[in-house]
Amino acid sequence: MELQAVLMAAGGGSRMTDLTYNTPKPMLPVGNKPLMWYPLNLLERVGFEEVIVITTREVHKMMSTDPKTKLDIKMKLDVVCIQEDGDMGTADALRHIHQKVKTDILVVSCDLITDVALHEVVDLFRAHNATVAMLMSKAHEFTETVNVPQRDFVGVDQSGKRLLFMANEADLEDGLIVRRSIIRKHPRMHIKTGLVDAHLYCLKKAVVDFLAENKSISSIRGELVPFLVRKQFSKMTSGQKRMDDTETVDQKNDGLTNDDLFFPSRDEALLQLAQERSCWNDHRGDMSEAYHGGKLRCYVHIMDQGLCYRVNTLSAYIEANRMAPKFIEEPAVHPSAVISERFQMGSDSMIGAGCHVADKTSIKRSTIGISTTVKEKVKVTNSIIMHGVTIEEGCNIQGSVICSNAVIGRGADLKYCLVGNGQRIEPEGDTYSNTKKSILLEVSVTFGLV
Amino acid sequence: MQIEGKELTKEEKQRLRKEKKQQKKGKEKKDASLPQVSVAETAAPASQLKAERRARQEAERTSKQSKKGDTGQPATTSKPKIPPNELQPGTQNTWSDHPHHMLYLIKQWLSPEIFFFQIPRRLDYGYKVSLFSHLLQYSRKAPLTQQLSIPSAVIHPAIVRLGLQYSQGIVAGSNARSIALLHAFKQVISDYTTPSNEELSRDLVNKLKPYISFLNQCRPLSASMGNAIKYIKKEISNIPSQFKEDDAKKKLLNCIECFIEEKIVLAAKAIAKSSIEKINDGDVILVYGCSSLVNHILCEAFEKGRKFRVIVVDSRPRLEGREALRRLVQKGISCTYVLISAVSYILPEVSKVFLGAHALLANGYVMSRVGTSQIALVAKAFNVPVLVCCETYKFCERVQTDSFVSNELDDPDDLIVTRKGETQLKDWQQVPRLGLLNLVYDVTPPDFVDLVITDLGMIPCTSVPVVLRVKNVDLL
């Protein structure tokens, strides 16, 4: 077996609490399918047959019982439940399933919606015998211009594939420091800031073993990957030599060498023989052999075309809903929905199963969830209506997100609002509108948590 | 009356013979479509018999064709040294249209024995120059892994990795490719488990067939790889059936290690020893491209204390000479670097030419990197001795007198170069009469080669068939 897939579905959705306080993030409907479905669909399309899903008990229950969040996946899902309130980072979760991991793994986050050709990432992992291969994408316009201290600096080499440097601005107090060893080996480095990390990593099994021993690392994205990227260029200790003084200074907390991470593959000597005779080098201009003799290599595939969304903020959620019809092959209108004749629907809209849509409604660029009822003369534009919502007659909903089981009374007029789970909007309600385009949390005093 | 009787008996005899044949065929093929001639039939005239025979032959032919359609390509592409023109580039493999979904469904409702995995066919890329239209041309940007499922279950991961490394050029060079191939096969053999009711000696060979065809699709097999595969297959089929699985596997792994040790590593040492006699102090040696063997020879000679300098000749688009240059300079040998267009300029200084070979053909021709025959030609014109270094495991029984009949076409986009921000050939596919040709190999006639240095000694080019004959006798 070559790769095992691991889906991280235990995240809390800390950047969109308005949506996730009632529904866990993996189960948020995007295009009438739970968010988890997208990465699972990607894995299934590519040919995986089994996935290890790390999630909370609540999500697991919803997966198996709730018909609205039925997953429709033919793969075998091996669900591992962890405590949801524990501070378990992604690396801690990998440590938790260490026993199940038998080969190299492909870690995917549940909030990734993408149509990347996955073989591009995995081919980098295979061909160069890389320790980690990840996926990144050029950011799209909708992502909020990121708050300044959160920028990510990613340094790649000339070919754009080898990852040389990765740091978050928050960790760089004195400015961006690039080690001389990196510059000596790769004199041309491109540093990019506008990239979205898709949180899709191919990791060697040795890395998981390493995580099991080093309990100090708790997040893959925040700690493990930058650590591995840095380790590429730290001084190599060969089998005979032991750590010298410079080493001990470098590795104050780590206490380990490159040898630990470089797990010798079978027939290492033979591989070395083949490498010596091959007339290939990944760089030119200096006297060192391919990969500068380094055994630890990190690669990145940067997508410049195609869709790649991380649904971890509200605006990403809305954008993903808009793009969702492209991923789903099902017809826009579910066959079991009851739709009247005099009804306008735009081409980008989606209507879920079991809906009732009455006459003279107009639905444009919106998603209507499962089992919602839309009465007459309702105009829904640019909105996301989740499951079980009732919209009475004459409403006008624009640019809004209506969470599950809400009831919108007659004649309500909502612009750019977010209606929480199970809320009620009074009939003939005042026009609630947000002047700012972004959707705010609190709308008005009549809403309270039920 | 007597004549009639004779005729009858003759016809009866014919009919009886036919029935016997049919019975035999019936047992072999169990084909119900063959028309059954009943014994009670009256004597039929000869023309009817002929018609029946023709009908039967037609039925057999159609049944054979339908069977061929099932087994498809893996059977034909399993032969290691198929020249590319035997593969049919025109036949479309419908599996390649909907690979994963089809595979997934079919894996579910077919048992593994019936399930013949067909290697998805890599599609041809770009316009091919008409003289080479019988060869396959692939694009590096469209790897074969696009059409396979990602956790490759049907093809062993080591083989997928190897195929990727071949197609991206990470493992290049005849020796490196063979060693990497054997390394991958070692992993395959270690991970192999004999299914029940099967014998290791037969089943393992069948397991290797799709892997070999996969590797062939990634990059056409070299002569050295072909010989290595032949050797392994022979070793596998010679495993006695009473061996336990672990012992058999250990024996096979041992054989592979012996092969590498003898035919590659020790051969290199022997060749280096012979060549050092040919390198004198004060020599100016010309080498072309990056041959692992020639580099090894030069490094050994330098270590033994010979004083010489090297001229490295390089050519686009591969520019492998840079790697050779790096290795030689790292050792401390003083080198000069020129491109192949300057070869006639530099040759008056040269005292010897050392060339590596990809394969040595049975008629004495040397198949090597494209440009080698040019160098040999110019060297001959300048009366400079040309020495070819080649291990015996690269000798192959093929006969070729020109570089057209069988060659390899590399990605034509490699020829495109960007200078000062401008890429002239960016849209070469749109220009109607423009074709980009990126040949990999060419053949050098034996008249230009003065000596071949092998692990069996220093032989003239024309003794290659003798070596092959001796080798074959050994194998038998």
pLDDT at position A298, please? Answer: 93
Q: Give the model's confidence band at A299: pLDDT under 50 very low, under 70 low, under 90 confident, else very high.
A: very high
pLDDT at B9 over 80: no
- Using a CB-CB cut-off of 8 Å, the residues of chain A touching B120 are none
Question: Distance between CA atoms of B128 and B126, rounded to whole angstroms?
Answer: 6
Question: Distance between CA atoms of B203 and B196, rounded to whole angstroms?
Answer: 10
pLDDT at position B25, please? Answer: 64
pLDDT at position B359, please? Answer: 94
- Using omega within 30 degrees of 0 as the cis cutoff, is the peptide bond preceding B240 cis? no
Among chain A residues, CA nearest to B178:
A274
pLDDT at position A5, please? Answer: 93
Paired tokens of A61? 């229950």
- Using a CB-CB cut-off of 8 Å, the residues of chain A touching B177 are 274, 278
User: Which residue from B331, B273, B323 is spatially nearest to B299, judged by alpha carbons?
Assistant: B331
Higher pLDDT, A286 or B84: A286
User: Which residue from B354, B363, B336, B178 is spatially nearest to B271, judged by alpha carbons?
Assistant: B354
Range from A189-193, B46-50, B67-71 carrying the lowest mean pLDDT: B67-71
* Sign of the dihedral through C-alpha B8, B10, B16, B22: negative
For residue B356, the one-letter residue type is: G
Range from A243-247, A302-306, B384-388, B448-452 carrying the lowest mean pLDDT: A243-247
* Average pLDDT of span A292-298: 87
* Average pLDDT of span A209-235: 88
Range from A239-253, B180-194, B355-369 carrying the lowest mean pLDDT: A239-253
Polymer length of chain B:
476
- Using a CB-CB cut-off of 8 Å, the residues of chain B touching A305 are none
- Using a CB-CB cut-off of 8 Å, the residues of chain B touching A47 are 100, 103-104, 148-151, 153
Q: Give the model's confidence band at A174: pLDDT under 50 very low, under 70 low, under 90 confident, else very high.
A: confident
pLDDT at position B101, please? Answer: 57
Q: Give the model's confidence band at B31: pLDDT under 50 very low, under 70 low, under 90 confident, else very high.
A: very low
pLDDT digits (tens, 9 = 90+) for A12-58: 777 777 777 778 888 888 888 888 888 998 998 898 888 999 988 88
- Using a CB-CB cut-off of 8 Å, the residues of chain B touching A204 are none
Q: How many CB atoms lie within 10 A of CB A328?
A: 16
Contact B326 A281 (CB under 8 A): yes
A286 Rama sector, left if φ>0, alpha if ψ -120 to 50, beta otherwise: beta
Residues with Cβ within 8 Å of residue A146, at least 6 apart in sequence: none
User: Which residue from A10, A23, A7 is spatially nearest to A68, judged by alpha carbons?
Assistant: A23
pLDDT digits (tens, 9 = 90+) for A370-389: 888 888 888 888 888 888 88
pLDDT at A338 over 50: yes
pLDDT at position B361, please? Answer: 93
Please name the residue that has the structure tokens 């197609």: B167
Interface of B with A in 127-156 (CB under 8 A): 143, 145-146, 148-153
For residue A303, the one-letter residue type is: M
Higher pLDDT, B446 or A441: B446
Contact B151 A48 (CB under 8 A): yes
B69 Rama sector, left if φ>0, alpha if ψ -120 to 50, beta otherwise: alpha
Contact A280 B171 (CB under 8 A): yes
Give the mean pLDDT of chain B.
82
- pLDDT above 90 covers a percentage of chain B that reads 56
Interface of B with A in 272-331 (CB under 8 A): 289-290, 292, 320, 322-324, 326, 329-330
DSSP character for B260? I
- Using a CB-CB cut-off of 8 Å, the residues of chain B touching A127 are 161, 164-165, 168, 170
Q: Give the model's confidence band at B2: pLDDT under 50 very low, under 70 low, under 90 confident, else very high.
A: very low
Strand, coil or helix: A57: helix
User: Which residue from A179, A81, A90, A76 is spatially nearest to A134, judged by alpha carbons?
Assistant: A90
**What is chain A's alpha carbon radius of gyration, rounded to the nearest angstrom?**
25
Among chain A residues, CA nearest to B103:
A47
pLDDT digits (tens, 9 = 90+) for A394-439: 888 888 888 888 888 888 888 888 888 777 877 765 555 554 444 4
Chain A: give the shortest CA distance to residue B346, in Å: 24
Higher pLDDT, B42 or A153: A153
Paired tokens of B168? 């991206």
Paired tokens of B36? 């059954």
DSSP one-letter string for A422-439: T-EE-TT---EE-SSSSP
Pairing of strands B352-356, B386-389: parallel
Question: Distance between CA atoms of A32 and A68, rounded to whole angstroms?
Answer: 9
- Using a CB-CB cut-off of 8 Å, the residues of chain B touching A42 are none
pLDDT at position A62, please? Answer: 81
pLDDT at position A388, please? Answer: 84
The yes/no answer to whether this complex scores an ipTM above 0.85 is no
* Average pLDDT of span A111-134: 91
Contact A2 B153 (CB under 8 A): yes
DSSP character for B261? I
Higher pLDDT, B396 or A443: B396
Residues with Cβ within 8 Å of residue B14, at least 6 apart in sequence: B49
Range from A135-139, B72-76, B177-181, B448-452 carrying the lowest mean pLDDT: B72-76
pLDDT digits (tens, 9 = 90+) for A258-282: 455 555 565 677 778 888 889 898 8
Q: Give the model's confidence band at B34: pLDDT under 50 very low, under 70 low, under 90 confident, else very high.
A: very low
Range from A276-290, A415-429, B175-189, B280-294 carrying the lowest mean pLDDT: A415-429
Asked whether the beta carbons of B140 and B167 are under 8 A apart, the reply is yes
Range from A219-223, A249-253, B347-351, B402-406 carrying the lowest mean pLDDT: A249-253
Residue B379 buriedness (CB in 10 A; 0-12 / 13-18 / 19+): buried
Range from A173-177, B184-188, B305-309 carrying the lowest mean pLDDT: A173-177
pLDDT at B421 over 80: yes
pLDDT at position B45, please? Answer: 55
pLDDT at position A247, please? Answer: 39
* Sign of the dihedral through C-alpha A285, A289, A295, A300: positive
Contact A279 B183 (CB under 8 A): no
- Partners of B395 in the beta sheet? B360
* Average pLDDT of span B444-473: 90
Q: Give the model's confidence band at B402: pLDDT under 50 very low, under 70 low, under 90 confident, else very high.
A: very high
Chain B: give the shortest CA distance to residue A280, in Å: 6
Among chain B residues, CA nearest to A42:
B150
Q: Give the model's confidence band at B66: pLDDT under 50 very low, under 70 low, under 90 confident, else very high.
A: low
pLDDT at position B24, please? Answer: 67
Interface A–B counts its CB contacts (< 8 A) at 118
pLDDT at B77 over 70: no
Contact B161 A127 (CB under 8 A): yes
Chain B: give the shortest CA distance to residue A288, in Å: 8
Give the mean pLDDT of chain A.
79
| A205 reaches B (C-beta below 8 A) | no
Higher pLDDT, B75 or B211: B211
- pLDDT above 70 covers a percentage of chain A that reads 84
Asked whether the beta carbons of A68 and A370 are under 8 A apart, the reply is yes
pLDDT at position A69, please? Answer: 57
Task: Give residue A171's Cα distance to chain centre.
Answer: 22
Higher pLDDT, B459 or B40: B459
- Using a CB-CB cut-off of 8 Å, the residues of chain A touching B104 are 47, 74
Q: Give the model's confidence band at B153: pLDDT under 50 very low, under 70 low, under 90 confident, else very high.
A: confident
Highest mean pLDDT among A233-237, A414-418, B68-72, B280-284: B280-284
pLDDT at position B17, please? Answer: 73
